[in-house]
Structure 1
Amino acid sequence: MSTEDTPTAEIDTTLFITVSGPPGCGATTLCNRLAEAIGCPYVSGGDIFRELAEERELSLTQLTAKAEASDEIDRALDQRLQTIAEKWGMANKPFILESRLAGWLAGDRADLRIWLDAPEEVRARRIEDRVETEAEMRVREVSEAGRYESYYEIDIDDREFYDLSINTARWSKEGVFELVRMALEEYDTERDEGAFETPHVDV
């Protein structure tokens, strides 16, 4: 039986989880598996970006160009993500928020913050079937990192406050899911001695 045919084990948790990482890191795959296993809502920055494009009657390419030209799009996106984080941070119900800045925007409202990554050549191979080329992926990453620092004084390479950091090239998709599942199931609030403080982000 392949991993695709294996039923997803249920996870009993009320944690608010953020998942972040660069393109091709495996965040979408993990979030879909977790949302199914937990039975909870899942929102991605990509979903919100598409909403903004539809509201402005623009294509994703056009909206991306506008985001490069001014801070209005990025701030609108991040404000919505932060509002979602504030809502679910008080709900005491399981929820998954995924975006490059999800861990920063959720701040101390998040119960578990996850960073996924993989070597650049691995991530480039994973996005071969997407519209975005490898060169475009690299340019976008550099551009976004510069904008985060300019707008919010965020160093995207600062990952101290993440609770889990996983190189998804070292495990299969199922293996990555199992690592996170184990972390969730082993988490005990009474034994939790404290997370690293997340710097406040004013969007």
Structure 2
Amino acid sequence: MATTESATSDPEIETTLFITVSGPPGCGATTLCERLADAIGCPYVSGGDIFRELAEDREMSLNQLTAKADESDGIDRALDQRLQQIAEKWGMANKPFILESRLAGWLAGDRADLRIWLDAPEDVRLERIEDRMETEAEMRVREVSEAGRYQSYYDIDIDDREFYDLNINTARWGKEGVFELVRTAIEEYEPAIDEGAFRTPNVDL
């Protein structure tokens, strides 16, 4: 499984929060998760890495696996069920953890303590993925395809972001600036004065 375990022995951030990070390709989610995991000293799981592992196992490109997923709901449901199981496990652990995927906030639901959505203008995101194996065309195909499947399988509108606690345009700050915004949200969080998060709609897998 695609799990990253931080080796930090003296964490910068003291917390027990279960954090989800979501956003489209090139939004900066991986960069933030790696930085957060190191600062908190906690593991994180990336849905994107799991999807890439599925592609490698099948000797397929991301675009090919996306096309295969369009033909049947089996690949998506297996991936999402695994992510939901991980969310259930860590939601009861009272230990810090980071779950990153497009649907992480939905799949974790009310188990998550802090739900983050990252985004950036399309031209910025395209520039960020220039050095990846995924092409511009593949990125656009994947975004449209995934959105359609989420709506079809789970009645999820990926553009519904009401329940996210933080919505950050990562084009407005540098990598460290985005990290500092999230750090502040984590460190300033006080359960005693928390009047309640927006409820996440249930996802029936």
User: Normalising by the residue count of structure 2, what TM-score does the alignment of the two structures yield?
Assistant: 0.91
Name structure 2 gaps, 5 residues minimum.
1-9
Tell me which residue corresponds to 1:112.
114
1:93 aligns with 2:95: yes
1:172 CA displacement: 0.3
Number of matched pairs: 195
Tell me which residue corresponds to 1:74.
76
1:47 CA displacement: 2.4
Within 5 Å, give how 1:42-191 maps onto structure 2. Answer: 42-53=44-55, 57-61=58-62, 62-191=64-193
Q: 1:9 to 1:177 in 2, by over 3 A?
A: farther
Q: Distance in 2 between matches of 1:47 and 1:133?
A: 17
Letter in 2 for 1:154: I
Tell me which residue corresponds to 2:30.
28
Tell me which residue corresponds to 2:3.
none
Name structure 1 gaps, 5 residues minimum.
1-7
Q: Secondary structure at the match of 1:158?
A: coil
Q: Secondary structure at the match of 1:190?
A: helix
Q: Distance in 1 between matches of 2:203 and 2:148?
A: 16
Q: Secondary structure at the match of 2:15?
A: coil
1:192 aligns with 2:194: yes
Q: Distance in 2 between matches of 1:186 and 1:130?
A: 36
Q: Distance in 2 between matches of 1:60 and 1:94?
A: 33
Letter in 2 for 1:45: G
1:140 CA displacement: 1.2
Tell me which residue corresponds to 1:3.
none
Letter in 2 for 1:129: D
Q: 1:50 to 1:130 in 2, by over 3 A?
A: closer
Q: Distance in 2 between matches of 1:65 and 1:179?
A: 37
Q: Distance in 2 between matches of 1:52 and 1:133?
A: 19
Q: Secondary structure at the match of 1:181?
A: helix
Task: Report the aligned-residue RMSD.
Answer: 1.5
Q: Distance in 1 between matches of 2:50 and 2:97?
A: 16
Letter in 2 for 1:134: E
Tell me which residue corresponds to 1:13.
15
Moved more, 63-72 or 23-32: 63-72
1:162 CA displacement: 0.1
1:60 CA displacement: 4.0
Query: Percent identity among equivalent residues?
Result: 84
Q: Distance in 1 between matches of 2:71 and 2:61?
A: 14
Q: Distance in 2 between matches of 1:150 and 1:9?
A: 42
Please tell me whether the aligned partners of residues 66 and 142 of structure 2 are also in contact (alpha carbons under 8 angstroms).
Answer: no
Q: Distance in 2 between matches of 1:11 and 1:59?
A: 39
Tell me which residue corresponds to 1:38.
40
